[in-house]
Structure 1
Amino acid sequence: MASEKTSKFYAVKVTTGQEENVIAVACLRIESQNIPIKSIFAPPGLDGTIIVEADHIGEVNTALSGIRHVKRVIYGTVSQEEIQRLVIVEEKIEEFNLDDEVEVISGPFRDMKARVVRAEKDKREVVIEFLDAAFTLPVTISVDMLRKKKKTKLE
């Protein structure tokens, strides 16, 4: 081929939480109708949006038209640099050590204070004990659900 077309990335708004369902249905349609879509994915941290790689917008509309939970194709294209920024997520590097005081920021134990009993860095999990509980019950929790408690000058 003398001139190879570069594909473009299009952002599509979908119902939040239904990204994977829309992708599954779209993939079935793309395979059955041989629509030339190169890739389709839901970028982490960008709820309610999927990214579709295709040569032009007509292919995206053909692949996604009539699928439940698809709201609209956002006008314009998304740059390659923006896609790389969305896909390459920098890990939040926060070390949790023994006896660190932490606060649970999500999940059923949200806003509870705890103390780190054991940290498993390879699994990105820690075992905590709640400070304001009547009895000590060790709970294993992901580090993504924790935040180190800020030290104040009074402590």
Structure 2
Amino acid sequence: MSENGDSVIYVVKTTANQEKSVAIMLTQIARKDRLDIRSILAPDELKGYVLIEAPNVSTVEQAIQTVPHARSLVKGESSLDEIMHFLTPKPTVTGITEGAIIEITSGPFKGEKARVKRVDEGHEEITVELFDAVVPIPITIRGDTVRVLKKEEQA
């Protein structure tokens, strides 16, 4: 619940892969019709659903009436506590382990393959050694600039 205690999260079922377009159309309708919709969320991890924060169910029902791909309103209500994990960003280095073989996807070393030597979750960086380097020099790069090719492999 929000600080003022009168906001509830409602779940709208959508056509698969239409979550973002439904969210955009709901935003436009809420603005045009001056509906009391406080937030709309279409998390990537939640396929086929859009979350809407509003004071009552009738506001949401009114908003989704004319939206293509908005299938139905899921019965019941949700709370902010139940959806909090969608609002917390995931570290970009999740799933990258020491010893993994990666390919660098951007920057000056784009296309190079390397072995992960260290993972720094706090800074979302990894330290790698390039395979094709004449002298193995560790370089530190952002976790979102790599693609894992093989999980842990012993050197």
TM interval, shorter chain, is 0.5 to 0.7
Matches within 5 A, 1:48-87: 48-87=48-87
Question: Contact 1:44/1:87 (CA < 8 Å) preserved in 2?
Answer: no
* 2:114 is the counterpart of 1:94: no
Percent identity for Structure 1 against Structure 2: 23
CA RMSD of aligned residues (A): 2.9
- For 2:98 and 2:142, the matched residues in 1 are separated by 12
Which of residues 122, 146, 149 in structure 1 aligns to 2:142? Answer: 122
- Offset of 1:31 from its aligned partner? 0.7
SS class of match (1:21): helix
Q: Normalising by structure 2, report the TM-score.
A: 0.64
Tell me how far 1:121 sits from its aligned partner. 2.7
Number of equivalences: 120
Q: 2: CA distance between counterparts of 1:102 and 1:5?
A: 47
Q: Note the alpha carbon deviations across 1:46-86, whole angstroms, 9 max, x for none.
A: 11111000011100010111211011111111122111112
CA contact (8 A) 1:37 1:53 kept: yes
- Segments of 5+ residues of structure 1 without an aligned counterpart are 104-113, 127-142
Residue 90 of structure 1 aligns to a residue in which SS? Answer: coil
Structure-to-structure mapping, 1:99-110, within 5 angstroms: 100-101=100-101
Gaps of 5+ in 2: 104-111, 115-129, 132-138
SS in 1 for 2:40: strand
Note the C-alpha offset of 1:94: 1.8
CA-CA distance at 1:44 after TM superposition: 2.9
CA shift for structure 1 position 21: 0.9
Structure-1-length-normalised TM-score:
0.64
Counterpart in the other structure of 1:41: 41
**By how many angstroms is 1:96 displaced?**
6.4
| Structure 1 moving runs of 4+ over 2 Å | 100-103, 114-123, 146-152
SS at match of 2:38: strand
